[in-house]
Amino acid sequence: MAKEDSSKTVARNPKARHDFHIMETWEAGIVLTGTEIKSVRAGKVNIKGAYGLVRGGEVWLDGMNISPYESGGYVNHEPLGQRKLLLKKREIRKMIGAVQQKGLTLVPLDVHLSGGYAKVSLGLARGKKEYDKRHDLKSKDADREVARAMSRLR
């Protein structure tokens, strides 16, 4: 059976880009059990409120909710829990240095399947102030109005 080449997004965190300035992104593999990956492939994932931790030279994702697999039976997994992320050593060292800076955190942006494996896009983020959020909404509305006006002229 051939692995799929394209990437399929399973879960997004839309509030991440609204609440944070994303400075840098990484793609990491997720260590999952059998029933967890089956639930991920079924799209039963929620990353709202999840965050990344750097502990003991490893990166962990905390707060990601993977619903129990319906046909799992007694071997099912815990829905909430910390899951280890797979990254290269130099990327982990870079994350450790970045997260130690005041006000920076690791935020999951989306979970996707790539080549049959579950991956998460992590962003190095700094929280936005309320006025930054309002400014972003105003600029999106203005861009939308300009696009509407341009489409009417054609």
What's the confidence (pLDDT) of residue 5? 54
- Buried/exposed 62-93: b ≥16 CB within 10 Å, e otherwise: bbbbbbebeeeeeebbeeeeebebebeeeebe
Decide: pTM greater than 0.85.
Answer: no
Specify whether the CB–CB gap between 120 and 12 falls below 8 A: no
Token pair of 92 as six digits:
């982990």
What is the mean pLDDT, run by run of 10 residues, along the chain of 154 residues? Answer: 65 84 90 86 88 88 86 76 90 86 87 90 85 84 90 83
CATH superfamily of 8-128: Small protein B (2.40.280.10)
Domain layout of the chain by residue ranges? 8-128
Instruction: Tell me how far the alpha carbon of residue 10 is from its chain's centroid.
Output: 10
What's the confidence (pLDDT) of residue 1? 43
What length does the chain have?
A: 154
